[in-house]
Amino acid sequence: MIPDTLAKSLVKICGQSAVIVDEDRLLVYESDALTAYRHRPGAVVLPRTTAQVQGAVTAIARHGLPIVPRGAGTGLSGGAVALDGAVVVGTARMNRILAIDVANRRAVLQPGVINAELSAAARPHGLYYAPDPSSQTACTIGGNVAENSGGPHCLKYGVTSRYVTGLTVVLPDGSVAKLGGQGRDAPGYDLVGLFVGSEGCFGIATEIEVGLLPLPEGVRTLLGIFDRIEDAGRAVSDIVSAGLLPAAMEIIDGPTIRAVEDSVFAAGYPTDAEAALVIEFDGVEAGLDAEAERAAEFCKRAGAREVRSARDEHERMALWKGRKKAFGAMGRIAPDLLVQDATVPRTTLPSILKGISEIGKRYDLVVANVFHAGDGNLHPNILFDRRDEDELERVERASKEIMQLCVDSGGTITGEHGVGLDKKHHMPLIYGPAELDAMWGVRRVFDPAATMNPGKVLPEETAPGWPVEGDARETGEPMATVGAAP
């Protein structure tokens, strides 16, 4: 519930239909794709323009309420969850592509544009937007900017921050800042780079300039089938160290394969295999076959029992199907799914995968791995039933051990899903007080009054005097209660 006066000003700024205060309609905004964290927002406002965002932010801040930016709500770290009756500023209506500048290979767009729609709009010009999160048919570019999202093809092409060249941002105090733009070569600090990945804590991006790439001429897709997941991990590491640079390398492990094959998404992967490795090369036609052959050879040498290759787009889609539908399939075999996200050095993949499988066995849990292997970005997902309290506790302990294992190998606690609400208590695993304090400092530069998405990213206990006095803000639940499959 928000004060009437605020509701009235929001209506005045954005229009009647853009303001949601009805309790039932607010339910939809209770969580993101990590459904364990549920908090109903005080209200939702859906502006259409930078000026409306500015007006809304100013009005909400004047009432002393916190603000949570929100894109499509596909986030997997609870970033768009509205704590403490915060008002959600959603970008659903800011979904216009403002310009596709073919000559300069860039686009200017509103933040609510869906990732896949940008590529679709660029395609007739022979261009596309490279970062391709698996959620790309649903997630927004604004959400991608806030999370610095990756995707399967980021192995060759890099993640979101490489492609964002300019931002118009409404800061928490209601002012508008233009960062970068016209190609990001202006002198000064890289404020665009600093804003990307700030998880909605620095302000609301209301206009985004991104770089586009020419569509590759040819694609070759392979599927290696392995009896041991470590072997698939070794194949990845061997391919990379041999100097090949595939566009994507993704691993789907045995439990995931079986989940997929048991579901309506059956992709024809052998159910007795312990890993499937999808490898894709793209570029000019010349030389592609040779690269694919070399990669196939590395798979066989690492112990692949079979390597399939796609001869046309139809077969290519079939090889990818198991990867693309993995999350959906897992959601069907267990009531709850804990989606993990950590990055490790590539060479440690075989030993980490083995370690994860041992941890799963020790806690008698099903851990299903499906991940961006080429980047060493793991998603060890734990399937469970939260009504089973004993299991819930084992999930919590196993997940902590897995995280620690990844960190000890020289890795990090999140490669692409962000910290949000879910992982803020893991931040001290990788950063000491000095680093956390520096991050608090930067956050305060953008948001001195703690208005924007408070309770996310940084653990409160690391910042004396934060949150502001008298604020008994809820700081999220322990991670094991993380819930239903996205």
Partner 1 sequence: MSIATAPTALSGVLPESRVLTGSAASGWTGGMPAEAVVFPADTDEVQALVRAANETGTRLLPAGAGSWLGAGGWTRVGGVIVSTARLDSVLHYEPADLTLTAGAGLGWRKLAALLEPNGQWLPVDGPGVGVGTLGGAAACGVPGPLRARYGAVRDNVLGLEVVTGDGRLLRIGGRVVKNVAGYDLVRLFTGSRGSLGVITRVSVRLFPRPEADVTMVFEGGVEEVLEVARVVRASPLPVAAAELVVRGAGVADGEAELAVRVLGGREEAEDVCSRLVAGIGAAPGGTMRGGESEVFHRRRIEWEGRLPLVVRLAALPGQLAATMEWARGVAGWTGGEVAGDVFGGVVRVKGSPGDDGAAELAETLTRVRREMEAAGGTMTLSQAPREVAARVGWTGAGGGGGGLAEKLKSLFDPRPVLQSRCP
Ligand X SMILES: Cc1cc2nc3c(=O)[nH]c(=O)nc-3n(C[C@H](O)[C@H](O)[C@H](O)COP(=O)(O)OP(=O)(O)OC[C@H]3O[C@@H](n4cnc5c(N)ncnc54)[C@H](O)[C@@H]3O)c2cc1C
Q: Does 133 help bind ligand X (rule: CB under 6 A)? A: yes
Name the minimum Å distance from CB 362 to partner 1. 25
Work out whether 417 is an interface residue with ligand X (CB under 6 A): yes
Beta pairing, strands 213-214 & 127-128: antiparallel
What long-range pairs does 268-275 form, CB within 8 A, spacing at least 24? 268/318, 269/223, 269/225, 269/322, 270/225, 270/306, 273/225, 273/226, 273/227, 273/305, 274/226, 274/227, 274/228, 274/229, 275/225, 275/226, 275/228, 275/229, 275/231, 275/232, 275/251
Tokens of 395: 């999930």
Per CB under 6 A, 486 contacts ligand X: yes
Among 17-25, 83-91, 101-109, 474-482, which window interacts with partner 1 (CB under 8 A)?
Answer: 101-109
In angstroms, give the least distance from the CB of 160 to ligand X.
Answer: 8
CA atoms within 13 Å, Cβ hemisphere of 370: 30
Among 31, 110, 136, 148, the residue binding partner 1 under the rule CB under 8 A is: 148
Task: Give 369-417 as a DSSP string.
Answer: EEEEGGGTEE-EEEEE-TT-HHHHHHHHHHHHHHHHHHHHTT-BS-SSS
* Site membership for partner 1, residue 49 (CB under 8 A): no
Segment lying near partner 1 (by CB under 8 A), choices 4-12, 92-100, 343-351, 469-477: 343-351
What residues from 242 to 261 belong to the interface with partner 1 (CB under 8 A)?
242-245
Task: Kindly identify the residues of this chain, within the stretch 305-344, that bind ligand X according to CB under 6 A.
Answer: 327
Residues in the chain: 486
Report if residue 154 touches partner 1, rule: CB under 8 A: yes
Distance CA 312, CA 225 (A): 20
Is 465 near partner 1 (CB under 8 A)? no
Q: Judged by CB under 8 A, how many residues of this single chain contact partner 1?
A: 92
DSSP H or E stretch at residue 54: helix 50-62
- CB of 352 vs partner 1, minimal distance in Å: 12
22 binds, among partner 1, ligand X, none (CB under 5 to 8 A by kind): none
Instruction: Based on the shown chain and the rule CB under 8 A, indicate whether residue 472 belongs to the binding site for partner 1.
Output: no
- Residue 270-309 contact track with ligand X, rule CB under 6 A, x = bound: ----------------------------------------
Q: Which CB atom, from 92 or from 366, has the smaller least distance to ligand X?
A: 92
In this chain, which of 268, 270, 410, 478 binds partner 1, going by CB under 8 A?
Answer: 410
For partner 1, the binding residues in 174-193 under the rule CB under 8 A are 175, 177-183, 185-191, 193
The reply on whether position 476 binds ligand X by CB under 6 A is: no
Tell me if 147 contacts ligand X by CB under 6 A: yes
Exactly one of 32, 84, 132, 147 binds partner 1 (CB under 8 A); that residue is 147
- Residue whose CB is less far from partner 1, 124 or 187: 187
215 part of the interface to partner 1, by CB under 8 A: yes
Secondary structure of residue 305 in the 3-state scheme? strand
Token couple for 311: 């001869």
Q: According to CB under 6 A, which one of 42, 150, 181, 411 is a site residue for ligand X?
A: 150
Is 380 near ligand X (CB under 6 A)?
no
Binding segment toward ligand X, per CB under 6 A, in 148-156, 303-311, 330-338, 424-432: 148-156
Q: Do 170 and 206 meet the contact criterion of CB atoms below 8 Å apart?
A: yes
User: Min. distance of Cβ 347 from partner 1 in angstroms?
Assistant: 5
Stretch in the footprint of ligand X (CB under 6 A) among 21-29, 200-208, 280-288, 351-359: 200-208
CA-nearest of 177, 152, 391, 384 to 281 is 152
**Does position 446 bind ligand X by CB under 6 A?**
no
Only one residue has tokens 């998404």, namely: 265
Q: How far, in Å, CA of 168 to CA of 177, rounded?
A: 6
> Does residue 98 belong to the site contacting partner 1 (CB under 8 A)?
no
List Cα–Cα distances, 431 to 198, 434, 479, 481, in angstroms. Answer: 16, 8, 19, 25
**Nearest CB to ligand X, comparing residues 124 and 187:** 187
Identify the helix (H) or strand (E) that includes residue 178.
Answer: strand 176-180
Cα 322-324-329 angle, rounded to 5 deg: 65
Task: Indicate the SS3 state at residue 239.
Answer: helix
- What would the two tokens of residue 353 be? 């995968």
Q: How many residues bind ligand X (CB under 6 A)?
A: 37
- Give yes or no for residue 142 binding ligand X (CB under 6 A): yes
Q: What is the CA radius of gyration of the chain?
A: 22
Q: Are 282 and 276 in contact (CB under 8 A)?
A: no
The contact set with ligand X (CB under 6 A) reads 32-33, 68-76, 79-80, 91, 111, 133-135, 139-140, 142-144, 146-147, 149-151, 199-200, 204-205, 327, 416-417, 453, 486
